[in-house]
Structure 1
Amino acid sequence: MKATKISGCDESECPAVYATDEPGVVLAQGIPVAGVDGVHLGPGEMAVKLPLSVLRDAVAHLEGAGS
């Protein structure tokens, strides 16, 4: 899998969203969270915190790219 950062800071270790070469698939990088009421994770899954601004930027980028 290949990924390209589409939102987030320029540093390597910060919340970010990446587009991938798999159709319809993106990756999120953020601070892992656990034990959040209402979130039920499956085996091998992890929830991460993302600033809303990073998510908005990613959606705007993807909409502009026609994805």
Structure 2
Amino acid sequence: MRLTFVAKDPNSNPTNSPTLYRTDRGSWLVQGFVVTDPEALAEMDIPEGESVVEIPDRMIQFFTEEGRGVAG
């Protein structure tokens, strides 16, 4: 799998996490904050081998070509 860096959260200090990547498989990888809230996790059906990360709304803009400053 090849990754293309898309964006780091510009308003998060000191690590600029979460981070968003695009893959050559037509998918996205999101590095974010691990969700540990037991009530939130209980509401989801998370299979073994998967996890949940949280990203702020301000990162959604980077999921579009326009938000990444890419023409097309």
Regarding TM over 0.5, the answer is yes
Per-residue displacement from partner, 1:24-63 (whole Å, max 9, x unpaired)? 2110100111331422210110000101111x22222378
Q: 1:62 to 1:20 in 2, by over 3 A?
A: farther
Structure 2, unaligned runs of 5 or more: none
Q: Which structure: greater strand fraction?
A: 1
- Is this contact kept in 2: 1:15–1:30, CA < 8 A? yes
- Is this contact kept in 2: 1:9–1:16, CA < 8 A? yes
Larger radius of gyration: 2
Q: Name the TM-score, length of structure 1 as normaliser.
A: 0.70
Structure 1, unaligned runs of 5 or more: none
RMSD, matched Cα: 2.8
Identity of aligned residues (%): 27
In structure 1, distance between residues paired with 2:50 and 2:71: 28
